[in-house]
């Protein structure tokens, strides 16, 4: 499946083809996306001009490990493990600060118009600070944040149609209006 996606992406890039008439929103996912309908959900977004830029699981930033000694290798592996996605943000001495700084950096680097947080009701850790994260992201980057509740791998918690309706409403009523005011179309 991944090979097919890469091949399709290459072909579209070379031909200048995009499934929607225009890109209407560039979305950075602050935590985890929805994977229970991998192609269907992402294709649905793409067909509406909503770009899924990234999520926390794909934000791995590997670093060089010094192999000159056993001690340096162990130290390097420990540091590398601490930098893994989610561990870096959720395991930091200040979870909200690490999460905010990382997400603001990626939102700026990827020129995201908005961000989406999808959290499971049992993930008390992220729900406890998402309002602070949301406010800081808006203040620092200007990107509004949509908060959704759902399970990334189990569709029974929140039906796809509900997620799609929430995202479509957010993009239409918040993101597109902001883009028009900023003179960026859509």
Q: pLDDT value at position 49?
A: 92
CA dist 183 to 27, 38, 67, Å?
18, 33, 51
Q: Residue 186: which pLDDT band, with cuts at 50, 70 and 90?
A: low
Least confident of 37-41, 90-94, 115-119, 145-149: 90-94
Q: Give me the domains of the chain, ranges plus CATH numbers.
A: 24-181 (3.40.50.11900)
Per-residue pLDDT reduced to its tens digit, 77-97: 888 877 777 776 676 666 677
Q: pLDDT value at position 80?
A: 82
Q: Which residue has the tokens 């309908």?
A: 37
Go through 115-141 and write b for each residue having 16 or more CB atoms within 10 A of its CB, e for each that does not.
Answer: bbbbbbeebeebeebbeebbebbeeeb
Beta bridge partners of 149: 119
Q: pLDDT value at position 143?
A: 96
Q: pLDDT value at position 88?
A: 67
Beta strands in the chain (DSSP E): 25-29, 50-54, 114-119, 145-149
């Amino acid at each position: 499946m991944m090979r097919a996606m890469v091949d399709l992406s290459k072909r579209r890039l070379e031909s200048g083809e995009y499934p929607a008439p225009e890109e209407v929103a560039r979305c950075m996912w602050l935590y985890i996306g929805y994977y229970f309908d991998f192609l269907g959900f992402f294709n649905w977004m793409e067909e509406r001009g909503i770009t899924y830029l990234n999520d926390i699981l794909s934000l791995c930033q590997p670093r060089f490990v010094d192999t000159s000694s056993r001690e340096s290798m162990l130290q390097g592996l420990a540091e590398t493990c601490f930098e893994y996605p989610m561990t870096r943000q959720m395991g930091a001495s200040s979870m909200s600060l690490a999460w905010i700084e990382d997400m603001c950096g990626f939102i700026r680097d990827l020129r995201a118009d908005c961000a989406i947080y999808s959290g499971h009701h049992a993930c008390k850790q992220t729900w406890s600070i998402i309002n602070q994260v949301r406010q800081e992201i808006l203040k620092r980057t200007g990107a509004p944040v949509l908060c959704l509740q759902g399970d990334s791998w189990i569709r029974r918690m929140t039906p796809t149609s509900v997620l799609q309706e929430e995202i479509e409403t957010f993009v239409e009523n918040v993101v597109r209006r902001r883009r028009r005011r900023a003179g960026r179309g859509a």
